[in-house]
Structures are given as structure tokens and as C-alpha cells.
Chain A
């Protein structure tokens, strides 16, 4: 087992922890946190392939592609968290709960 597959295994486990949280927790905030963990695991994959992949070492042109992907992914994840939490606040104010098993309708 080389460092690359160790990184990939860690990322896979983080992804699955996030998936388990998103599937099994009933608080909407924790569902969002689980999705953030899954995005973080994907970022770890990008960094691992950038660091250990053989493409980056051979070609100068694409040497920074992995880094760029992670930067933009972090930006999109932050945007997603902001809108998601604002939505949770709006729903909480309306339905007086943030339990995803109790919020069954969108109609106000």
C-alpha cells in the first residue's frame, strides 16, 4: 500500500462517515454538516492525486489543476453552507422545528 491509496482510504472513510451522518441524523444542521464532511473528503482525494499522481510531475501545464479544483470546491462548499443554513433558519422560523423527519411539506 502506497501513500496515495492510504490517502484515498482515509478520504473514503471520511466520506462514509459524512454519508452515515447525513442519512441517519434527524437534525437538519447535522445533515448539512455531513454533506460538508463528504465535500471535504472529495477535496482530500483531489489533493492526494495532485500530490502523488504522476501526471503533475511530468507536465508543467497541468501541475496546479488539483490545487485549483480544491480552491473552487472550497468556495462552492462555503456558498452551499451559507444558503443551507439560511434555509434551515427560515424553515425553523416557519415550522418551529429543524427535525427533518417532521418537516414533511413545503407549503407554507
Chain B
């Protein structure tokens, strides 16, 4: 466990807490970008270069932009978290209980006592590409199909429906 990992973990966790607790939506989105970038850097620090860069590209590049666009397009719906709201309290309590269970499970399991390997397993991009096109070619095709369907589905869902009267007017014109 290196200093870099501890620092990155602290930044990521702090940004995630900020993203979920700030009152303004835009601030939440910016903190979320920091959290995703920190997660990508943790992947890099763990030696998974390709995955870390993919995480940075997909989350910081695409998902964050999507979220910012969604926030800007749903302006006027900005709701600050009511401090005394019951759901906020019970949600936090439930999350803390889940964390207590998970932490207890991690600390008491055999995992925390095994000797960990020092050098990261090899994960050159060339090997990843070869594996993707040999052993994992079916999942690759399926996820390509999924992303195509998602592209079409998202466009259809977000398509602005014109009111019926307006369509009628356009037809007669």
C-alpha cells in the first residue's frame, strides 16, 4: 500500500461524499467528475493502465458530460436537499449499516490475511486485444449490439414530442 494509493483513495472518497451531499446539482456534478477521475487514477496506481484510461475516457469524458447536460436541460427543477428530511437520515443510516457489515466481512475474511503478489500481472494492451478477439469475442459483439440499441433507444426517448395541435398545423400548412 503506497502513499499514492492512500492519497488517491482519500481524494476519491472525499469527492464522492461531496458529490452526494452538496446542495447544488452543478457542484455535485463537478465533485462527481473528481471522484471518477480519482477512481481512474486508482486503477492506474494498481497497474491496470488500459482500464484506468478507459475509465477516464468513458466516465470523465462521456458520462460526466451527459450528467451536466441533463442537469442543464432540466433547469428549474433544482432541489436542494432538505436538511431535516427523513429520507436523508434513514438513507445515511442504512448506508452506514451496509458499510459496517461489508467492512466486518472484509476484515474477518481470509482475504485480509493472504500474501498478496508484488508485481502486477501482465496486462499489455496487445494481450488485451488478442483476448478480446479470441476468448471474449461473443461478449464483445453483444456489448456492441447493446451500445447500438442504447444509442437508438436514448435518441427515441429524448426525442421532443410535438403537441398534437402543432403537428396538425404543420400538416395543413
Residues in chain A within 8 A of chain B (CB atoms): 1-10, 12-27, 29-30, 32-34, 36-37, 40, 43-44, 47-48, 50-54, 56-57, 63-64, 67-68, 70-72, 74-79, 81-83, 85-90, 92-93, 96-99, 101
Interface contact A30-B20, CB-CB below 8 Å: yes
Cα distance A25–B95 when bound, in Å?
A: 13
Q: Within the complex, which residue of A26, A47, A83, A93 is in contact with B150, where a contact is CB–CB below 8 Å?
A: A83
Q: Mark B25-43, 1 if CB is under 8 A from A, else 0.
A: 1001100100110010011
Cα distance A25–B16 when bound, in Å?
A: 14
Q: 28 A-B residue contacts at CB 8 Å? A: A2-B116, A4-B114, A4-B116, A5-B111, A6-B1, A7-B46, A24-B85, A25-B20, A27-B79, A32-B67, A43-B43, A43-B51, A44-B42, A51-B46, A51-B47, A51-B48, A63-B122, A64-B128, A68-B128, A75-B58, A76-B146, A77-B63, A83-B153, A83-B157, A85-B67, A85-B154, A92-B77, A99-B79
Known A-B contacts A29-B67, A82-B66; A47 and B87 likewise in contact (beta carbons under 8 Å): no
A-B contacts besides A33-B28, A96-B77, 6 pairs, CB < 8 Å:
A21-B91, A32-B67, A43-B39, A64-B131, A79-B150, A85-B154
Interface contact B63-A78, CB-CB below 8 Å: yes
Q: In chain B, residues 133-159, which have Cβ atoms closer than 8 Å to a Cβ of chain A?
A: 136, 139, 143, 146-147, 150-151, 153-155, 157-158
B94 within 8 A of A: yes
Interface contact A17-B95, CB-CB below 8 Å: yes
Chain A residues with CB under 8 A of B35: 14, 37, 40
Chain B residues with CB under 8 A of A68: 128, 131-132, 136, 139
Give the size category of B's interface with A.
35 or more
B73 within 8 A of A: yes
Interface contact B95-A1, CB-CB below 8 Å: no
Chain B residues with CB under 8 A of A22: 91
* CB of B95 to closest CB in A, whole Å: 4
Chain B residues with CB under 8 A of A6: 1, 5, 9
B70 within 8 A of A: yes
Chain B residues with CB under 8 A of A33: 19-20, 28-29, 32, 67
Q: In chain B, residues 76-109, which have Cβ atoms closer than 8 Å to a Cβ of chain A?
A: 77-79, 81, 85, 87-92, 94-96, 98-99, 102-103, 106-107
Q: Within the complex, which residue of B28, B121, B127, B132 is in contact with A50, where a contact is CB–CB below 8 Å?
A: B121
Cα distance A51–B46 when bound, in Å?
A: 7
Chain A residues with CB under 8 A of B58: 74-75, 77-78
